[in-house]
Structures are given as structure tokens and as C-alpha cells.
Amino acid sequence: MNRPRRPAARAATSTRRAPAWEVTPADLECLDAVRSLLSALNNAYVSTRQIHTLILTIPVLAARCVRRIGSKGAVTSELLEKALTSIGNLGLETELLGLLEDLTTCRADLDEQSQPRSEPPGG
């Protein structure tokens, strides 16, 4: 006997609140801010304050930077400043690359879910 899928169980897992440093589909809305940050990082004259401000517009990246220094609390401007001072440019680059990878994977997963499934040939 064929049982219908249980959409309620799927809905429950998609509404769970992930930790601030984990990418969710809502984080895809930060892509413009990520592009702005990448542009700023390529500018030799950008200030540390500008980088700090841009990172604050990307909550998942800010949370990852703060988490990297061992803090799992809410991100504040002061805590982010401490984290960026501690992890340096290399640490920021590592977190940013990881974020870009996770955003790409998230987008691919969403695209895959939205495509209709086709029957295999001969089946």
C-alpha cells in the first residue's frame, strides 16, 4: 500500500531556527552585502571601520567571526571588533570563503528542490 508523504514533518524541519552561524535560505538575501564586502576588501584604501560596518550587514558572517574566538553569544559591534582584531585578515578570509561555499550549496539545494523530478528512462 502506498503511503502519502507527510508534509507536516517536512514543514516542521524547515521552520527550525538554526544557530546564527549556520546558513539558512533567508541568508541568501545577504548576497548583495557579500558582494559589497568583497569589493571593499579589494580596495586598498578601505578603512577597518568600513569593513566592520559591512560585516555587520551580514549577520551570518558576523556570527561566524565571533564564534571563531569562542563566543556563542549575540553579536555586538564591540564583540565583532574584538573578533576581527583576534582573527585578522586570514581568519576573516577563511570565514568568508566558508560562508560563500555554504551559500552556494544552499542555493543549489533550493534549486534542486524546486525542479520537478523526472522518471528515469525506461521506467
In angstroms, the Cα distances linking 108 to 37, 79, 104, 105, 114 are: 22, 32, 6, 5, 10
What residue ranges do the domains of the chain occupy?
A: 20-105
**Residue matched to cell numbers 524541519:** 13
pLDDT in tens, 40-95: 999 999 999 999 999 999 999 999 999 999 997 899 999 999 999 999 999 999 99
Confidence label for 102 from pLDDT (cuts 50, 70 and 90): very high
The dihedral through the CA atoms of 77, 85, 97, 38 has a sign that is positive
Spatial neighbors of 94 by CB under 8 A, at least 6 apart, are 87
Taking the C-alpha atoms of residue 106 and residue 68, their distance in angstroms, rounded to an integer, is 22
The whole-model pTM stands at 0.79
C-beta of residue 32 within 8 angstroms of C-beta of residue 117: no
Q: Which of 15, 101, 19 is nearest to 59 (CA)?
A: 19
